[in-house]
Amino acid sequence: MVVSALAVHHIPEEHRATAYAEMRRVLKPGGRALIADFRPPRGRLGRHFVHMVTGEAMSANPVERIAPMMTAAGFRVTSTHQVGAFFHCVRAESA
């Protein structure tokens, strides 16, 4: 099993596809992955506050791209959901 908790937003966007491919490579067929990352606030004021406190990585974190990138890396996404107001989770299995 691969678990990534609040780390994807620290990977430069141009390297994320490689990171997902590496996650897939280390798993046996049917192995599971759980990616949980920070979901930025939707409102302008909330995004501005997060940007001021944490910077660009968290204020503009494109969590909606996680599932498609995992699919492209060879995963079968089994669920995506929000946990509370600030977390986006993707569950997947290696194909």
Convert the pLDDT of each residue in 19-34 to its tens digit.
999 999 999 999 999 9
Please determine, for residue 51, whether its predicted confidence score (pLDDT) is greater than 90.
no
User: What is residue 3's predicted lDDT score, i.e. its pLDDT?
Assistant: 97
pLDDT mean over 28-45: 90
SS3 sequence, the chain?
Answer: CEEEECCHHHCCHHHHHHHHHHHHHHCCCCCEEEEEEECCCCCHHHHHHHHHHHCHHHHCCCHHHHHHHHHHCCEEEEEEEEECCCEEEEEEEEC
The CATH class for the domain spanning 2-94 reads: alpha beta
* pLDDT tens, position by position, 56-74: 666 667 899 999 999 999 9
Give the start-to-end residue ranges of the domains of the chain. 2-94
